[in-house]
Amino acid sequence: MRALLDTSTLIAAMLPDHVHHAYALPWLARAKAGAFEFVCSGHSLAEMYAVLTRLKRTPPIRPAEAWDLIRENVTTHARVESLSGAEYALLVEELARTGIMGAAVYDAVIARVGELAAVDFLVTLNVADFRRVWSAGAGRIV
């Protein structure tokens, strides 16, 4: 089995006080244990870093701490996949044709990585958003 864990799932899994931690942590724990092939979008690496370093927390998560969380939980265990320049161009053309805009574009990037990586599951806390940008993969979104 191959599964892509999206940014929302990874953030929730890494932060014990996150409202969805109990849902997300088992997915990350199984991924790290090698229960399935763990795929992560390259876009999610940047997105996780941005989210972790801007969260309103006391104390705040410092840049080096954010990288440590990402390295320890994701890059050490996941196969990080990214779109090529041509794949990005095709995706943006498709988004323009279908009228998808705004932040949904980032979900579309992650979904396209999942599609190209032939994942069995895309695990997210934003099911409806991903179904909107990847209707062909709706049955794989959990």
In angstroms, the CA 142 to CA 139 distance is 8
Q: How many CB atoms are closer than 10 A to CB 104? A: 16
Predicted local distance difference test score (pLDDT) of residue 22: 98
pLDDT at 131: 96
Residues of the chain with pLDDT under 70: none
Separation CA 13–CA 17 (nearest Å): 9
**What are the structural domains of the chain?**
2-126 (3.40.50.1010)
The 10s digit of each residue's pLDDT in 55-77 is: 999 999 999 999 999 999 999 99
Q: What beta strand segments (E) does the chain contain?
A: 2-5, 37-41, 79-81, 121-123
